């Protein structure tokens, strides 16, 4: 198993839109939160730890030249 590396980042939070939620749910996904971070801080990580909860990255979206959105679902 690979070693877990933790990096602290500042982020903005966005809510999941109604359409995005239902479209994802139809594919068996449960998006709960969107983290917005600087692109240069994202290196393809597949999990996020936020407020002692672990989230799985299910989608990324380049919002603009500087930021990327990580759509995530909570890992149970």
pLDDT of residue 20: 87
In angstroms, the CA 46 to CA 38 distance is 16
pLDDT above 70: percentage of residues in the chain:
99
Segment 22-27 shows an average pLDDT of 89
Give residue 63's pLDDT band: very low, low, confident or very high (50, 70, 90).
confident
Segment 7-31 shows an average pLDDT of 91
Residue 52 has pLDDT above 80, yes or no: yes
Residue 2 has pLDDT above 90, yes or no: no
Residue 48 has pLDDT above 80, yes or no: yes
Q: What is the DSSP string of the chain?
A: -PPP-------EEEPPPHHHHHHHHTTT----EEEEEEGGG----SEEEETTEEEEEEEEEE-SSSEEEEEEEE--
């Amino acid at each position: 198993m690979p070693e877990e590396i933790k990096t602290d980042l500042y982020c903005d939070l966005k809510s999941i839109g109604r359409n995005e939620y239902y479209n994802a749910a139809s594919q068996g996904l449960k998006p709960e939160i969107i983290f917005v971070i600087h692109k240069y801080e994202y290196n393809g990580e597949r999990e996020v730890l936020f407020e002692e909860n672990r989230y799985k990255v299910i989608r990324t979206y380049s919002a603009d030249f500087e930021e990327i959105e990580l759509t995530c679902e909570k890992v149970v």
